[in-house]
Structure 1
Amino acid sequence: MRRYRYVGPADIQESAGRVEPVRLDAAGRLPDEPLTFVVGVDGWLKLAPRRSEHVVLADGQDVLAAGEMTFDGERRVVEVSNQSTGYCPDPDCWPAVAAALDRLGTAHPGGFTHELTFRRCPDCGERNIVRDGDFTCALCGGDLPTAWNFSSVPDQP
């Protein structure tokens, strides 16, 4: 499986504090609001409140997947996305998410319910979300590649 490294702004990574992971309540339930998630390179799922930074939840480390997830009252995943502008994971990270949820015995929809396509502009370096199949950079208007292209990004400080 592909490992995703943090590609977001260095100041977020550097200024981010610690995040408290989400825990089950006394009845064994998770909050019924969207949560931030990462799947670490160890294959385990970590959850935090939605406004938490993925890079903080991942302790600054590479991940196998990142995004947002919503559970119902029965601990089933009802919505899941790869929405993480810090890691910009490709939709092909779904197997890591499924494996982490299966490992926990958690029912899930079998794929992302909201799938995002991220590309880095080769002209200006901006991170982009491709919308409606339009592979045009939102900042400079340059052409975006059709294949995921964050692997050549230099390591963050």
Structure 2
Amino acid sequence: MARVSTRTRGRSYGYVGPAELKSAVRSGSGGFRVGSAADFGGWVAERSAVELAEPFTFVVGTDGVLRLAPRRSEHVACAGGARVLGAGEISFVREADRWTVSDVSNHSTGYCPDVTSWTAVAHALDGVGLVRPSGFTHEVVFRRCPGCQEHSIVRESDFVCVFCGSDLPQMWNVDPTV
């Protein structure tokens, strides 16, 4: 079972998206828990070619375990409403006799994880024996505007709020409880 030590764990992220999405999460729900290579093998064998052609929603729980759900699933539902160490979208491709992560991002507007969440994501993928890239294939930089409090995606290193034009901080600041 993949576990993240306190040393490699890093920051956890609370849900910062719309409250109605979190309130819709039911106890015991969540994405498919991938705690081993066998878990992943069973899960991927049940996916159709159409499903595998699209990215999946993923989270890494605070226990360090990868959880997967269909792409259009909300990250907060995949996480069962809990805090996460990482969240985003992930794609898999079969190469020779093994599965490889072809694309992985931290694109989750519900959790807005920092790019530093890669460490926890990499550890979870390594724990189930998936070949992976050396970092996110698409990094998303999230910031909370100190002026209007909206969550923004920083594009092309332009740290300016798209909602009000205020400067955005260089350091991750999305979750006000951290």
Q: TM-score, normalised by structure 1?
A: 0.89
Q: Which residue of 1 aligns with 2:80?
A: 59
Matched, 1:103 2:127: yes
Classify 1:26/1:133 alpha carbon distance in 2 versus 1 (closer, same or farther; 3 Å): closer
* Among 20, 23, 27, the residue aligned to 1:11: 20
* Among 149, 160, 177, the residue aligned to 1:136: 160
Query: What is the distance in 2 between the residues matched to 1:116 and 1:136?
Result: 15
Q: Deviations over 1:130-151 (max 9, x none)?
A: 0011111111111111110124
- TM-superposed CA distance for 1:15, in Å, is 2.7
From the two aligned structures, give the one with the greater helix fraction.
2
| 8 Å contact kept, 1:19–1:52 | no
- TM-superposed CA distance for 1:21, in Å, is 3.2
Q: Which residue of 2 aligns with 1:46?
A: 67
Q: Which ranges in structure 2 are unaligned for 5 or more consecutive residues?
A: 1-9, 34-42
The amino acid of 2:23's aligned partner reads E
Query: What is the distance in 2 between the residues matched to 1:71 and 1:60?
Result: 25
Greater RCO (CA < 8 Å, at least 6 residues apart): 2
| 8 Å contact kept, 1:21–1:49 | no
Query: What is the distance in 2 between the residues matched to 1:15 and 1:58?
Result: 12
Matched, 1:24 2:33: no
Query: What is the distance in 2 between the residues matched to 1:153 and 1:26?
Result: 39
Matched, 1:152 2:176: yes
The amino acid of 1:108's aligned partner reads R
- TM-superposed CA distance for 1:33, in Å, is 1.8
- SS in structure 1 of the partner of residue 52 of structure 2: coil
Query: What is the distance in 1 between the residues matched to 2:89 and 2:130?
Result: 16
| 8 Å contact kept, 1:66–1:83 | yes
- TM-superposed CA distance for 1:153, in Å, is 4.3
Q: Tell me the matched-pair count.
A: 153
Query: What is the distance in 2 between the residues matched to 1:126 and 1:151?
Result: 11
| 8 Å contact kept, 1:7–1:153 | no
- TM-superposed CA distance for 1:101, in Å, is 0.6
- TM-superposed CA distance for 1:26, in Å, is 5.4
Q: Which ranges in structure 1 are unaligned for 5 or more consecutive residues?
A: none
Q: Which residue of 1 aligns with 2:38?
A: none
Q: TM-score, normalised by structure 2?
A: 0.79
Percent pairwise identity: 52
After superposition, the CA RMSD in angstroms is 2.1
* Among 10, 30, 34, the residue aligned to 2:55: 34
